Amino acid sequence: MNHDYTEIPTLTIAYPGNLGNRLCHFFGAHYLQHHIPGIRIANIAFPEWNIFYPRVENAVFRSIRIAETFEQLDVRSLSVLFAERPSTNVIITSYLQDIERFLPPGTYREMFPLSEVETFGPDHLLINIRTGDILTGFAHMYPLIPIAFYEDLCARTGLTPVFMGQLDRGSRYVEALRAAFPAARFIESRGPVQDFDMIRRAENVVPSVSSFSVMAAWLSEAKRIFLPLNGFLNPSHMRNINLVPTRDPRYRFFLFPMNFALPEQEALAHHGNLRGRWREISASHVEALKRRDLMLPLDATWPENHKIPLFDERWYLHSYIDAADSVSSGTYENGMHHYLDLGRHLGYRIRKSIDETDYPNLALGQRASQSSTSVWSRGRTSTQDAVLAINGVRDVDYAFHTDLERDPWWELDLGRSCIVREIRVYNRKGDRALQERASPISLSLSHDAHSWKTVFENGPGEFFGQEDGGLTPLIVAVEEIGPVRFLRITLTGGPTCLHLAQVEVYGFPS
């Protein structure tokens, strides 16, 4: 079969996403295009500015490559590749969030012209607020910014605050913000383009923890940009994201303790622990954090020989703010490193106790099913047998029992969409040989019982519940998963039987 192949090397953006992500994709791809003449960009558009880079079908290329990281997009390597194989489509699945590999912001200001929006001059401090989806706390890298931080900035600068963005009434955070600044002006979102350009036109800006907000501030001609190094903007939190421009003199940097996203009400409570714990740091300090210049380097054998079962990173760093400060400022790699070096000597705990939780058990009273029943089943049907694992009774030899089969499974229907924070699985009691049947096991979540996301899996022989008569559960912390309704537990391989004592799911309705 004859093909008409293109000989134009191409960079295709796999998942363009929202405006902030599209801008990062474009700036990263445009940097490569600038340094490798003759290549084109595909599958990204900015209808807001009438800019379009159409998709090019894979069938017209002789070669297809996938690039998942910026390291796979090295200018020299790509230049060699495209010189040898010009008919190549490099499909970029990375978000390209590395501001050091963008061209200067002035390169793009004419390409993305400003619309006519209200401006705020030298006496005002424009503060962009993000709420919306992050109020659930499901994505660990998007925490709310403490209101006290804005109070601190206004006191430091003497500027008049203007809040703009996602300020819908009904949010506890927004209501607390309005109460803290009764005389301030609040401008609710006027749409992505106007919000974006309002940030770009202001002389003094405080971005939110959002690529949209950060890119708008970077493209602006602001005189001062006050950047909270919080969530993914903290180099110690997200090593694979770099949207902090340390060579830009407009920026002032405020380092927060390691701070993970929490549901709105919990975040407001935790902000009391964070009050006054942020501090302004220099650009050179930020650079050191990016390079991971740890004050206390990791031992060569850590963490391979010092793993701590059930260590809860988020709980530890939220409970011990001194540890969160030490990790954020580059003394330690993470919470476990702090615990091994210091925390254990101070009597710090590694997680909540088994019976201590911030969330209700969503599984109680819900529906469940399983792949089969057996002569050992206690329910007459698969549903009657399966629900015994969600009745709240942990101290039993087993609750349900499938037949001997390949890939037996047990499934829970929570009845509505929920944000799941933690799953606890109690193995059956009995001989070690019986408990070892719970491997290799996988736990998967889904919003529709069709598309599943695996959140845990172990290998053959990696069993749990062998201590305290079988009452030490497998505990799975769930991060970065949106609303779900279904949990499925599967034993892979076989023939084997699935039998557990209890399954608990902690979280809250979405």
Return the pLDDT at 436: 85
pLDDT one-digit tens code per residue, 52-67 = 999 999 999 999 999 9
Query: CATH code at 256?
Result: 3.40.50
pLDDT at residue 466 in the model: 53
Domain-located, residue 357: no
Q: Which of 291, 318, 341 is the last residue of a domain?
A: 291
CA distance 436 to 470: 12
CATH of the domain at 434: 2.60.120.260
In this prediction, residue 474 carries a pLDDT of 87
* Paired sense of beta strands 452-457 and 441-446, if any: antiparallel
Residue 205 lies in a domain: yes
Q: What is the pLDDT of residue 395?
A: 83
Query: Which of 291, 324, 359 is the C-terminal boundary of a domain?
Result: 291
Dihedral over alpha carbons 492, 498, 502, 507 (to 10 degrees)? 30
Does the structure show a pLDDT above 70 at 347? yes
CA distance from start to end of the chain = 53
pLDDT, greater one: 438 or 30: 30
Question: For residue 150, is it within any domain?
Answer: yes
The structural domain count of the chain equals: 3
Phi-psi label, residue 236: left if phi above 0, alpha if psi -120 to 50, beta otherwise: alpha
Tokens representing 101 are: 């590999």
> Is residue 96 included in any domain, yes or no?
yes
Same domain, yes or no, for 73 and 148? no
Name the residue type at position 157: T
Average confidence (pLDDT) over 335-362: 87
pLDDT at 469: 47
- Residue 477 vs residue 40, higher pLDDT: 40
Q: What is the pLDDT of residue 275?
A: 95
pLDDT value at 294 more than 60 = yes
Taking residue 88's Cβ as centre, other Cβ atoms within 10 Å add up to 21
Calculate ∠ Cα 216-18-125, nearest 5°. Answer: 25
Do 173 and 98 sit in the same domain of this protein? no
How far is it, in rounded angstroms, from Cα 312 to Cα 310? Answer: 6
Answer yes or no: is 201 within a domain. yes
* End residue of a domain, out of 291, 317, 342: 291
The dihedral of CA 357, 358, 364, 366: what is its sign?
Answer: negative
Query: Reading across the β-sheet that carries 279-281, which strands appear in turn?
Result: 185-188, 160-165, 124-129, 204-206, 224-229, 251-255, 279-281
Give pTM, 2 decimals: 0.81
Predicted pLDDT of residue 471: 60
Asked whether 45 and 74 are in contact (CB, 8 A), the reply is no
Q: Whole-angstrom Cα distance, residue 162 to residue 212?
A: 18
Q: Are residues 493 and 407 in the same domain?
A: yes
Question: Structure tokens of 177?
Answer: 């913000």
Residues 97, 201, single domain; the answer is no
226 and 160 both lie in a single domain: yes
State the chain's mean pLDDT as an integer. Answer: 92
Is 50 exceeded by the pLDDT of residue 5? yes
3-state DSSP of 59-92: HHCCEEEEECCHHHHCHHHHHHHHHHCCCEEEEE
Question: Which pLDDT does position 1 carry in this prediction?
Answer: 47
Beta bridge partners of 410: 370, 489
Per cent of the chain over pLDDT 70 is 95
Give tens-digit pLDDT for 421-452: 899 999 998 877 888 888 899 999 999 999 99
Do 70 and 164 fall into the same domain? no
Tell me whether residue 327 is in a domain.
no
- Let me know whether 48 and 194 are in one domain: no
Structural domain that includes position 28: 10-107
Nearest to 476 by CA among 426, 429, 440, 428: 426
Domain identity same for 98 and 238: no
Tell me, yes or no, whether 37 and 157 share the same domain: no
CB 481 within 8 A of CB 461: no
**Residues contacting residue 449 through CB under 8 Å, at least 6 positions apart:** 411, 413, 485, 486
Residue scoring higher pLDDT (469 or 51): 51
In this predicted structure, what is the pLDDT of residue 468?
46
Q: Is residue 379 over pLDDT 80?
A: yes
**103 and 143 together in one domain:** no
More confident residue, 468 or 223: 223
pLDDT at 138: 81
Is residue 168 scored above 70 in pLDDT?
Answer: yes
Inside any domain, residue 229: yes
Single-letter residue type at 345: H
* Mean pLDDT calculated for residue range 264-293: 94
Identify whether residues 145 and 287 lie together within a single domain: yes
Rounded distance between C-alpha atoms, residue 44 and residue 56, angstroms: 11
Give the contacts of 325 (CB within 8 A, at least 6 positions apart): 257, 277
Name the pairing type of β-strands 452-457 and 124-129.
unpaired
**Is residue 96 located within the same domain as residue 196?**
no
pLDDT at 236 over 50: yes
* Domain presence at residue 354: no
